[in-house]
């Protein structure tokens, strides 16, 4: 649980409650023995309850124990806010056990004053949230009104009936922050949850861990009972205790279960009460009954909001931020977690814009690490924990996704080919990832398209770096196995994927021969340019030149030149006959030679072979505007400078050697 720390200026000078002081004194020994003061002081300074001079006094002590003792002495001279801030710091710097010792000494927030405070929170709201252990806003906070409203609306939908609201989304997208924000609403609390709010940070738990959570919750709810009972001994007992407490003592209250990983955990809270859950797993409530509502939190902030976070951290106007700020926000697709982690680092090292941008681009997630109120210390930790949760089979399937191209929505069929499975089987596997916010799905009527968030893909490629080549090879082999010598046709939903990315996979697999065979094939070029035009192919020739130019670059250059010069004809209807175009290339060109082979093989099609290419200066202008249908006849003029042709499209075309028709 996390308690609001500073209470505002007027309280500053008041002494700490006697009860709170006693808790500090009582637990002094345990505190002095264990705590390292530096991070704790960072937090207390940012809560404005400790001064830099006081920090210096602590630092001057020689041993860890002496520093801890000095810090506690200083806190003892202070007020209630300092106690809360110290408690919060312990909680979030890894001293949960010590924080638990101080929990009962937390001073109550004075209530009764309903005047709006700075951020629009009434003191009633403050009290309810403080008592319920709802986390504070992060130090730097930007509003996301639509999402906050969506959560509130779902809470209204619960009405007075028991039920579940699940707020779900990928790692670090802001579920916890938004959920806490939605509760900062006087009307909502007063009208719908007059019994209060009880926030439990659940996290990934085993049975023993869950029992401790339940015991803590029960003892918190029983707090002011005169006859304090012993802690429940097992989950069943705790569940019963909780049910009675919720029913008798806290009717019409809201239970918030933050960060739920397993649906079995929910059974312990399945007590006919109203529950708000945050989870990366959308289907976590599948195992419990009752009314269910859900809110999806999109993975990224709008660009401006991302910049706002950075500007608040580094204390600059948005317009004054360096260019790297834009790149940072773009690179992480607006992930609030990444932006905040980097923002906090930049606050300490304001000259490191370029450095952190590079770390992010180079996927050095481990270096993007900052101790904060967020549960995981580094970005890779936040993401890997979701993957670790998968069972082994699924881990392998998820690993296979490491080679998906960035920003591309992949149709199910591609993965059916990759895994050699039926559509339904593939959809089931992928749904598991979607539910766990490890993958995103776009539905368009009956067809599903899947894609990974950039951060997930970066994380996967980094994690499986040594296996990428093998994974690329696998998808190419699966493609070959499926299509054999055929080529994908536009009526298949996976068709575009292969035309766009087959070469990318071959290059990733370093399959030189396959890549050459593919990219130097007139059939492939024809099919691909008819679908997407020549630009992408030209780009691929450049991109993969080092693989294609095994011995020398001539062949690749021939094809590249061919596409560049004929670009204005290719990809446009009526599609030209690519073999005819190839025949117009210089005889030394590999394109010409291939075209000639094709022309010789094809029976029943009429092609023109240029006899005088060598004598022409501007060979690049030697193009043929095609007939729209079969050509029936062609002949040279007497001076051999002109050709006329006619065909089924009922046109007669006249060609002047070296000029367009």
Q: Report the interface residues with Mg ion, using CB under 5 A.
A: 175-176, 259
Residue that has been written with the tokens 């012993």 in this structure: 230
Tokens of 344: 């906090």
SS3 category, 296: strand
**Residue 376 Cβ vs ligand ATP, minimum distance, rounded to whole Å:** 6
Residue 54, Cβ neighbours under 10 Å: how many? 19
Helix axes 495-508, 468-483, angle to 10 degrees: 140
* Chain mean position to CA 346: 22
Binding-site size for ligand ATP (CB under 6 A) equals: 25
Distance CA 308, CA 574 (A): 51
Site for ligand ATP in 142-161 (CB under 6 A): 142, 144
Residue that has been written with the tokens 């529950």 in this structure: 275
Q: Contact with ligand ATP (CB under 6 A): which of 49, 337, 455, 537?
A: 337
Q: CA Rg, the chain, in Å?
A: 34
* Residue placing its CB nearer to ligand ATP in the complex, 151 or 309: 309
The bridge status of strand 254-260 relative to strand 197-201 is parallel
Distance CA 55, CA 225 (A): 39
* Residue placing its CB nearer to ligand ATP in the complex, 5 or 522: 5
Task: For residue 372, state whether it binds ligand ATP (rule: CB under 6 A).
Answer: yes
Task: For residue 177, state whether it binds ligand ATP (rule: CB under 6 A).
Answer: yes
Task: For residue 135, state whether it binds ligand ATP (rule: CB under 6 A).
Answer: no
Task: For residue 260, state whether it binds ligand ATP (rule: CB under 6 A).
Answer: no
Q: Contact with ligand ATP (CB under 6 A): which of 183, 309, 548, 578?
A: 309
Q: Contact with ligand ATP (CB under 6 A): which of 172, 411, 534, 576?
A: 172
Residue 296, Cβ neighbours under 10 Å: how many? 15
Selected range binding ligand ATP among 174-182, 217-225, 320-328, 404-412, rule: CB under 6 A = 174-182
Contacts 24+ apart (CB under 8 A), 240-247: 242/214, 242/217, 242/218, 242/268, 242/269, 242/271, 243/271, 243/272, 243/273, 245/218, 245/221, 246/221, 246/271, 246/273, 247/271, 247/272
Q: What are phi and psi of 292, to 5 degrees?
A: -135, 135
* Residue placing its CB nearer to ligand ATP in the complex, 145 or 445: 145
275 contact choice in ligand ATP, Mg ion, none (CB below 5 to 8 Å, kind-dependent):
none
Selected range binding ligand ATP among 1-9, 140-148, 349-357, 461-469, rule: CB under 6 A = 140-148
260 contact choice in ligand ATP, Mg ion, none (CB below 5 to 8 Å, kind-dependent):
none
**Residue 3 Cβ vs ligand ATP, minimum distance, rounded to whole Å:** 17
172 contact choice in ligand ATP, Mg ion, none (CB below 5 to 8 Å, kind-dependent):
ligand ATP
* Residue placing its CB nearer to ligand ATP in the complex, 198 or 280: 280
Mind spelling out the 3-state secondary structure of 505-534?
HHHHCCCHHHHHHHHCCHHHHHHHHHHHCC
Task: For residue 306, state whether it binds ligand ATP (rule: CB under 6 A).
Answer: no
Task: For residue 346, state whether it binds ligand ATP (rule: CB under 6 A).
Answer: no
Task: For residue 453, state whether it binds ligand ATP (rule: CB under 6 A).
Answer: no
Residue that has been written with the tokens 């399959």 in this structure: 511
Distance CA 600, CA 594 (A): 10
* Residue placing its CB nearer to ligand ATP in the complex, 378 or 535: 378
**Residue 463 Cβ vs Mg ion, minimum distance, rounded to whole Å:** 22
Q: Contact with ligand ATP (CB under 6 A): which of 175, 453, 472, 627?
A: 175
The CA distances from residue 20 to 35, 36, 70, in Å, are 19, 21, 18
**Residue 570 Cβ vs Mg ion, minimum distance, rounded to whole Å:** 51
Q: Contact with ligand ATP (CB under 6 A): which of 44, 173, 321, 565?
A: 173
Tokens of 197: 């709010």
Q: Which residues bind ligand ATP (CB under 6 A)?
A: 138, 140-142, 144, 169, 171-177, 259, 278, 280, 309, 336-337, 340, 372-375, 382
């Amino acid at each position: 649980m996390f308690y609001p720390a500073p209470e505002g200026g007027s309280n500053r000078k008041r002494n700490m409650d006697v009860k709170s002081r006693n808790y500090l004194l009582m637990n002094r020994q345990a505190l002095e023995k264990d705590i390292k003061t530096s991070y704790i002081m960072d937090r207390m300074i940012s809560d404005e309850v400790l001064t830099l001079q006081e920090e210096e006094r602590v630092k001057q002590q020689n041993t860890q124990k002496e520093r801890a003792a000095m810090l506690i002495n200083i806190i003892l001279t202070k007020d209630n806010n300092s106690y809360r801030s110290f408690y919060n710091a312990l909680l979030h710097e890894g001293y949960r056990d010590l924080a638990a010792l101080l929990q009962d000494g937390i001073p109550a927030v004075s209530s009764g004053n309903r005047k709006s405070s700075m951020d629009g929170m009434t003191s009633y709201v403050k009290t309810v949230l403080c008592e319920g252990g709802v986390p504070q806003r992060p130090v730097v906070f930007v509003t996301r009104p639509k999402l906050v409203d969506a959560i509130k609306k779902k809470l209204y939908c619960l009405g007075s009936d028991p039920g579940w609201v699940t707020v779900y989304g990928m790692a670090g997208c802001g579920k916890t922050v938004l959920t806490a924000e939605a509760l900062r609403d006087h009307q909502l609390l007063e009208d719908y949850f007059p019994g209060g709010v009880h926030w439990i940070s659940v996290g990934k738990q085993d049975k023993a861990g869950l029992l401790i959570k339940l015991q803590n919750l029960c003892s918190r709810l029983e707090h002011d009972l005169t006859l304090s009972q012993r802690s429940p001994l097992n989950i069943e007992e705790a569940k019963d205790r909780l049910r009675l407490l919720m029913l008798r003592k806290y009717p019409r209250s809201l239970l918030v279960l933050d960060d739920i990983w397993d649906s079995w955990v929910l059974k312990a809270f399945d007590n006919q009460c109203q529950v708000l859950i945050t989870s990366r797993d959308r289907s976590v409530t599948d195992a419990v009954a009752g009314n269910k509502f859900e809110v999806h939190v999109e993975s990224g902030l709008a660009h401006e909001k991302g910049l706002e976070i950075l500007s608040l951290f580094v204390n600059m106007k948005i317009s004054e931020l360096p260019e790297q700020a834009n790149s940072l926000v773009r690179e992480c697709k607006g992930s609030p977690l990444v932006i905040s982690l980097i923002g906090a680092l930049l606050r300490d090292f304001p000259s490191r814009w370029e450095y952190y941008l590079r770390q992010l681009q180079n996927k050095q997630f481990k270096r993007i690490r900052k101790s904060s109120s967020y549960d995981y210390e580094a970005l890779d930790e936040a993401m890997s924990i979701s993957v670790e949760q998968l069972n082994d089979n699924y881990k392998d399937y998820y690993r296979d996704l490491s080679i998906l191209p960035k920003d591309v929505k992949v149709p199910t069929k591609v993965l059916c080919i990759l895994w050699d499975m039926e559509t339904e089987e593939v959809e089931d596997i992928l749904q598991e990832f979607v539910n766990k916010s490890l993958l995103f799905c776009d539905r368009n009527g009956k067809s599903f398209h899947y894609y990974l968030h950039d951060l997930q893909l970066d994380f996967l490629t980094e994690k499986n770096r040594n296996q990428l080549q093998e994974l690329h090879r696998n998808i190419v082999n699966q493609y070959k196995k499926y299509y054999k010598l055929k080529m994908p046709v536009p009526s298949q939903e996976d068709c575009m994927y292969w035309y766009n990315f087959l070469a990318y996979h071959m290059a990733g697999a370093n399959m030189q021969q396959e890549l050459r065979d593919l990219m130097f094939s007139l059939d492939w070029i024809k099919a691909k340019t008819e679908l997407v035009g020549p630009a992408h192919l030209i780009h691929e020739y450049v991109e993969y030149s080092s693989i294609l130019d095994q011995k020398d670059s001539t062949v690749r250059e021939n094809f590249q030149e061919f596409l560049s010069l004929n670009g204005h004809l290719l990809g446009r209807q009526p599609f030209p006959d690519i073999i005819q175009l190839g025949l117009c290339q210089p005889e030394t060109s590999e394109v010409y030679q291939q075209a000639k082979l094709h022309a010789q093989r094809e029976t029943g099609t009429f092609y023109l072979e240029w006899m005088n290419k060598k004598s022409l200066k501007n060979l690049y202008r030697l193009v043929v505007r095609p007939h729209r249908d079969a050509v029936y006849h062609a002949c040279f003029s007497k001076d051999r400078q002109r050709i006329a042709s006619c065909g089924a499209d009922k046109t007669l075309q006249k060609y002047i050697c070296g000029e367009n028709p």
